[in-house]
Amino acid sequence: MRGIRLPPDIAYCCLPCVIYGIRYHEAFARSREVEELCATSDQRAFRLARARNARLIMSNEVPDMALDDVKPYCIWFPEVASEDTYRRLVKAYPDMVYTVGRACAVAGYDKLYYELDILPEVSIAEEARDNASEKAGSKAIFDHIMSQPVCYAVLDDYTRTANLNNPRCPAFMNGDTAVRSKGGYYFDIAEDNHIAEGSSGMPYKYEDLLYTPLPSHLPTITKDPLILMSAYEGNLDRYIRLRRPRMLDREAEAVIRGIYHNTTFAKYWSMQNFSTDERLLYGYGSEIKRATIARFIMVNDLSHITPTNPEPNQMPGMIWWPLLPAEETLRELVRRRPDMKLQAAMACIEANYERLWDELEPEPRWELWKLAQRQHITSAQPFRSYYTDYLKRRHDLCNDAAIVDKEPIATFLLPGIGPLWGQPPYSVYANGSRVDLAEWELYICSSEEMRQKAREQGGFPVFNEDDYPWSLYPRHYGAKAAREYKERLERERESDLKEYELVDVDSCK
């Protein structure tokens, strides 16, 4: 990374560090060892050659690039070349005209940009907007593009390609550009696996995008919170517009929650086919399928269920929340799929279907009793009953389904919308597939005065005043915490009494 020397063996785990060092250190890029390594013909060498050629261009040298495989995509980060260098580059390699136009937007080379005579490209516009406050040329480029009737999408920062022959039109600024000021975890336009980048949250001034209609052109923001919230709510239109080609961390869990709460969202996902790579990469194809089946059952549709399809391990564990299926739906479900009898019995308790319960005659189970009593049952408890063990042997989908508080609320007001950390301790959906955005929802609903207070204090409990007894919050603090709080008050009172008894009355006169 520091451009000092090559590692003895450039494994793929070290390759991003070498690429980073080449891009940032000209002497390292020009070294004989790096030059010889880039001269070989394999995919690893091509990646190194692209980084080296990008470094040479940014150092105002137009390299010899006989193969398309060694032509870099990003030629403006971490530095920009001179205007004349980019002019010579596009003359030597006309197919790089749009990447040169992008570099002009970063550097503010409006004169060269006009010479290129290219389509009004949306990522160039987004890059120009990002630099408009610092460079007059960038602002001129942005204004010129925005004055055109439509924009085109030629450059793709996700795949690092340029679609010169059939660009998408119309195109809008949608947060899909790795602008130079922000980089972007999901782009990797420098091919260094973004090893120097970190996560960021939603800027305060753009938080209203979470609950207002989206503009045609999104501002320059990290749109990850928008993606997660749209998936969490099952907002199909917003989600399809905002999502990236690769799922975010925790996005699959948000999608599952959205499926459970939104029929149209469930229908959309039921029509999607996951590739083998997607199933291996995300591991959530089966959980998403289970969620869609659960939603269909809750709206009384069994047309996707036969006695043999889906397979038993693809059937859902919870089928009674947030909607209750009809009694006849559950009866037919058990007729088709006897392996769903346990889930149907639990749904009978929730829906109070006494007649169907008598027909099913489920074996007495401790968890069924606790569900009927509205008690908290979690698979994280140290003891396990026969029923839970049975479900565990089956496919571990109902362990936490008896929990009353299926989506706990939040009482801590965050200072802002930021990255998600941690994993909820349990899930009512499947295999830990839950994302908790309750704190985001509390923040969205809060007044600006409350938000400002949270920013100043780094967040705070909205109903936890110093003089508010914990005993009033048994749900959040528990009986033990309330008892400890009461005992502490008694100790403090006893201590005050002792100090009062030890006071020398004469000394107070």
Instruction: Please give the single-letter amino acid code of residue 266.
Output: A
Kindly indicate the confidence band of residue 201, based on its pLDDT and cuts at 50, 70 and 90: low
List Cα–Cα distances, 76 to 29, 105, 195, in angstroms.
16, 10, 18
Does 155 reside within a domain? yes
Residue 70 lies in a domain: yes
pLDDT band at residue 198, thresholds of 50, 70 and 90? very low
For range 93-113, the mean pLDDT:
98
Tokens of 274: 């996951």
Inside any domain, residue 81? yes
Which residue range forms the structural domain that includes residue 191? 15-203
- Give the separation between CA 19 and CA 73, rounded to whole angstroms: 14
The pLDDT score that the predictor gives to residue 316 is 92
Quick one: what percent of the chain has pLDDT higher than 90? 45
Q: What is the pLDDT of residue 372?
A: 66
Residue 496 lies in a domain: no
**Structural domain contains residue 195:** yes
- pLDDT tens, residue by residue, 278-310: 655 555 678 899 999 999 999 999 999 999 999
Q: Does residue 41 sit within a domain?
A: yes
**pTM of structure:** 0.73
Residue 175 has pLDDT above 70, yes or no: yes
147 CB-contact burial (10 Å; exposed 0-12 / middle 13-18 / buried 19+): exposed
Average pLDDT over residues 168-190: 79
d(CA 319, CA 347): 7
Q: Is residue 134 part of a domain?
A: yes
What is the mean pLDDT of the segment spanning 178-194? 65
Domain count, the chain: 1
At residue 141, does pLDDT exceed 50? yes
Q: Is residue 174 part of a domain?
A: yes
User: Quick check: 204 pLDDT over 60?
Assistant: yes
Q: Which of 412, 428, 319 is nearest to 380 (CA)?
A: 428
Indicate if the pLDDT at residue 427 is higher than 70. no
